[in-house]
Copies of this chain bind each other. A is one copy, B any other.
Amino acid sequence: MIVVMERGATEENIQNVIDKFIVLEFSVHRSTGVVHTVLGGVGPAELVDPAEFKVMPGVRECYRIMSPYKLASRAFKPEGTVVRFESAAAGKVELGGGQVVVMAGPSCVESEEQIKQCAGIAAANGARFLRAGAFKPQSSPYGFQGLGEKGLQLLRQAADQHGLFVVSEVVDHTQIAMMEQYVDLLQVGAQNMQNFTLLRELGATQRPVLLKRGISATIEELLLSAEYILTGGNYNVVLCERGIRTFETYTASTMDIAAIPVVHKLSHLPIIADPSHGTGRRDKVTPMARAAVAAGADGLLVEIHPDPDRALSDGAHSQRPEQFAELMAQLKVIAAAVGRSV
């Protein structure tokens, strides 16, 4: 922590800052300049908010030197994390390796027929995971809330029939144990990125977690949320960029494609992209999927539906079967251009 004092700061002001450092168990180094006195504190930086110093009398500015996260930082595992999945039905797949892993499926499980069709489309085109929600967080209480555990059963069956792994959203910590029976990769939705109770409980399992960035979360906050899971001992965390909220309204949100290479620099965790929620518009999913892979995404989460016009939820950004086939064909070329496969 570095504290820069104002030009006219008194000796008392300076001493107060030093005292505060000592209370916080930091060791302090003082550098008296011509204009400004600068105090450097070394200690458990992530416990202290720089704002605590900023408001002290005579303080001009305060900066945190060290990252507020440790286990999520690239320095902790410079070679990068690879999250591995293996099963008799679906074989092996690695997230964070050479393959761009595609996860496809509908917003929600609606019926046995629908999820089976989706699984067929996903598998036929090279997706490795079947995605679908059974518990649906909807901003309106009147929206379709999902089929619950029954939906998870249908999802698992459909995935197994087509040799796919399963990814599905967990919305509450009391459901984790039940969901682990059906789901290979537990998704934390954007609205729950700072549901710390949920994150902590997920840290206590060994089931891989897909953590989506909140729509107004900074990259640092995303990594801090990952840190919650990692500190519990679960290192199988995959991040997901799904767009942030800005003033632009043509698309549902603004995909922060740059977050992909930034996360790769700051952290060892794999990161995938969700161009379906990121754009909210079916016809923009393919170009944004290409962009994400070109920027280095380790995978994609894509919504598909056999008949999007009749989907109970999120039909607007679901790909029709033929669109998804075309998307996958294009991805193969882009992935090859960045030295990867799909």
Contact = CB atoms under 8 A, between A and B. Distances in A.
A185 interface: no
Contacts of A192: 195
A239 to B, nearest CB: 14
A40 B51 contact: no
B196 A171 contact: yes
Given A140-B68, A140-B69, A196-B138, A265 B283 contact: yes
A340 interface: no
Interface stretch (A98-106, A159-167, A176-184, A213-221): A213-221
Most chain B CB inside 10 Å of its own CB: which residue of A54, A227, A261, A311: A261
Contacts of A148: none
Contact of A218 (B138, B218, B249): B249
A216 B197 contact: no
B31 A227 contact: no
A294 B287 contact: yes
Nearest to A318: B55
B29 A31 contact: yes
A40 B63 CA distance: 14
Q: Closest 8 interchain pairs by CB? A: A216-B216, A51-B316, A294-B294, A191-B194, A290-B294, A291-B291, A291-B295, A261-B287
Interface of A: 2, 4, 7, 16, 20, 23, 29, 31, 33-36, 38, 40, 42, 44, 46-47, 49, 51-52, 54-56, 60-61, 63, 65-66, 68-69, 75, 137-144, 171-174, 191-192, 194-197, 200, 214-216, 218-221, 224-225, 227-228, 231, 244-252, 254-262, 265, 278-284, 287-288, 290-296, 308-311, 314-317, 330, 333-334, 336-338
